[in-house]
Every structure is written in structure tokens, then in C-alpha cells.
Structure 1
Amino acid sequence: MVEIKEKDIQKAAAEGMDSFLRIFTDSYKAALLGELTSDKMGALNGDQHTLLAYHYFLDEVMVGGFCQLIQNGYGPYIFENPFAKAMRLWGLKDFSKLIYRAKEIYDVHKVDLVKERTEEEFMAMYEEYEAFDEIEETFFEEEELITTLIASYVDDHIEDFATIVKE
């Protein structure tokens, strides 16, 4: 289990929910030695993977939408794992439905979405995959609430996300 110092969690929590979640995800990335590879997947439990998946989801979708998320290699981590189901189990039913809607597009167009592209071809994806636009807009509108609910879930189940080291 990943260990995090209690004082670091308290400091991060005082800075806000984004910092609070990042203290966990930064620790997970360190445990994975910065690489999300299949041979390192066992270093994290299911809840830790779910939180890390949200971290990647948030960072990628907020900057470049689903096309960027998928082109940067996170499509399988989000859509081919039980991320959407975990969100539902964490109480984020509407967000779970949003992920499933994006997954439907991903599943139908996976071969094309994941293929290597030039910068020009990548930019053209935004016109070709306008089906993601409404889903992205909904996420942008609800992101703060979603992140708040996830931070609350982590706080309420903190022992599932890290071993807290008291000094």
C-alpha cells in the first residue's frame, strides 16, 4: 500500500480539493515509477487505480478533450477498465453515465481513435469526432462538483487510498 504522511495530506487538504487529490495521485505515479505499464498495475489497488484514472481523465479532457485523452494513450485505462462502474459505485451516477456515453463512441471507433497521427491529422479529429463535444461540455460544466464528490469519497474512505503515516 502506498504510504503518505498525515501532515502532507493535511497541508494539501488546506490548499483545496485539487491539491488533496493530487497528493494521492502523485504518490501513485511515484509508486509506478512514472509509467503506467501492465507489469506495474499490481502496485495499486482498484480504488487507487480509479483515482489515478480520474487524474488522467481530468488532466487530458480539460486540456484537449476525449481525442487528446485517447491519443495520449489513456483510452484503454479509462474505457477498457471498470472506471465508469467504479464512479457509479462511488456515488457519481451521472458522471458514470457520461463516461459510458464516451465509451460507446470509443468502442465503435477505437481502431481509428488510437492510430498514430500527425499534428494536422490529430487536429482534424476534433471535427471528425464532434460526437464527443456534448459529453465534454457536460463534463466541463460539472467538473467542480465531480471533483468535490470524488475528494469527499476519498476522505471518507482514506484507508482504501493510502496508508497514512503519523509522525
Structure 2
Amino acid sequence: MDVTKIEVTDEALRKGAAEGMDGFLQVFIDKYLEVTGGVPDAETMPLLNGYQHTLLGYHFFREEVLEGGFVQLIQNGYAPYIFGNPFAKAMRIFGAKNFSKLVYEAQKIYEANKEDLERERTDEEFMAMYEQYEAFDDLEESFMDMEEEVTEQVARYVDEHLEQFAQIVP
């Protein structure tokens, strides 16, 4: 799908921007979730371009890591979308260099333990993963410290490259 097929209204963007950077980004994210059905997989990948996937990836990353850390991100099936794509490189291009480094560090832990991290678990086994994978703790803490700055960098990049993220219509 051509980026021109993803349309957001100028009015929606103005309303979102009035709510701040989160509201601004949410206008695009809501449209991408609508187009993909909220499922980034082989069937929906062609529906978005690389810029759009990067923004949607940041949405999933932020939502999952802030709520339940890397363990939750991985257990909920988002690891291939984040670590199996050039997400970290794209974040560096978006200007979020420290965040990019953090994603690469998390990716190393993930790749070294991929099979175990991705296996099905009971709720009890899932909770035990937080102790088993304390290697993620410092990265999660770092992300929490930088999250607002990273979100601002992403919002600025989107604002400066609107044509890559959607066609703005009246």
C-alpha cells in the first residue's frame, strides 16, 4: 500500500497536537492500528511503509515495556516485530540515538535466550521470568528515564517528515 493511502485529517492532527506529543503521535498510530487490525504480521506488513512500521513499533515497544517490561513485550509476541526488523537503526535515524543503543542491548539478551523467552508459560512461570531475566531491569529503568525524551524526538521527526507517515487531507 502506498503511503498516500494512509490518510489523516488536518483537523485530527490539530486536535492531537493540542493534546501534546502523545496525542499527536496517537493520530497516526490509531490509523495504523485500524489499517493493520492491530496485528503486525506477514499479511499486514505490506500495508505500511518503513516509517509507519517504525512508529507503530515504537507504540508497541513503549506500551509493553512501560506496562510489563521486556518480558511482557516478548511474551506478547512483539519481539520479532521489534528485534527482527531494523527498528533500532530507524530509531537512530529518528534522532533517538541512546534509545537505539538500548534496543540493541535488549536484542542481545533476547537473541541469547530467544527460545526460552518465547516459550508458552503459565501465569506463575511468566511472573518467575522477571527474576530469571533481571538482565532487562537496568534497560527498563533506563527506558523509563528516557521515555519522555524519546517520545518527543519521535514526535519531532514525524512532524518534520509528515509525508512519510500519512497523507494529510482536509
Asked if TM exceeds 0.5, the reply is: yes
Cα distance in 1, alignment partners of residues 151 and 131 from structure 2: 28
Distance 1:126 1:79 in 2: 20
Partner AA of 1:128 in structure 2: Q
Q: CA RMSD in A?
A: 0.7
Q: 1:81 aligns with which of 78, 81, 85?
A: 85
* 2:53 is aligned with 1:52: no
| CA offsets 1:6-58 (integer angstroms, 9 cap, x no match) | 10000000011111111101100111123222111100000000000000000
CA distance, structure 2, for counterparts of residue 134 and residue 26 of structure 1: 30
Deviation by residue 1:73-119 (Cα, 9 ceiling, x = unmatched): 00000011000000111121111000000000000000000111000
Instruction: Determine which of 149, 156, 159 is the counterpart of 1:152.
Output: 156
The DSSP-based 3-state class of the residue aligned with 1:4 is strand
SS state at 2:37 partner: coil
Query: Would the aligned equivalents of 2:65 and 2:72 in 1 still touch at CA under 8 Å?
Result: yes
> Which 4+ residue blocks in structure 1 deviate beyond 3 angstroms?
none
5+ long unaligned stretches in structure 1 = none
Which residue, 52, 65, 68 being the options, matches 1:61? 65
Point out where structure 2 has 5 or more consecutive residues left out of the alignment.
none
Partner Cα separation in structure 2 for residue 36 and residue 80 of structure 1: 12
Alignment match, 1:16: 20
Separation in structure 2 between the aligned mates of residue 94 and residue 37 of structure 1, nearest angstrom? 27
Report the Cα distance in structure 1 between the residues aligned to 2:38 and 2:86, rounded to whole angstroms.
22
TM-score with structure 2 setting the length: 0.96
Structure 1 residue aligned with 2:134: 130
Contact 2:57 / 2:81 at 8 angstroms: preserved in 1?
yes
Question: Which residue among 24, 31, 35 is the counterpart of 1:31?
Answer: 35
Q: Distance in 1 between matches of 2:111 and 2:15?
A: 41
Identity %: 57
Q: Are residue 116 (structure 1) and residue 134 (structure 2) matched?
A: no
Distance in 1 separating the partners of 2:112 and 2:167: 40
Aligned residue type for 1:123: M
Give secondary structure in 1 for the equivalent of 2:85.
Answer: coil
Question: Is the counterpart of residue 6 in structure 1 residue 22 in structure 2?
Answer: no
- Aligned pairs, number: 166
Q: CA deviation at 1:157?
A: 0.4
Q: Secondary structure, in 3 states, of the residue corresponding to 1:38?
A: coil
Q: Which residue of 1 aligns with 2:45?
A: 41
TM-score normalised by the chain length of structure 1: 0.98
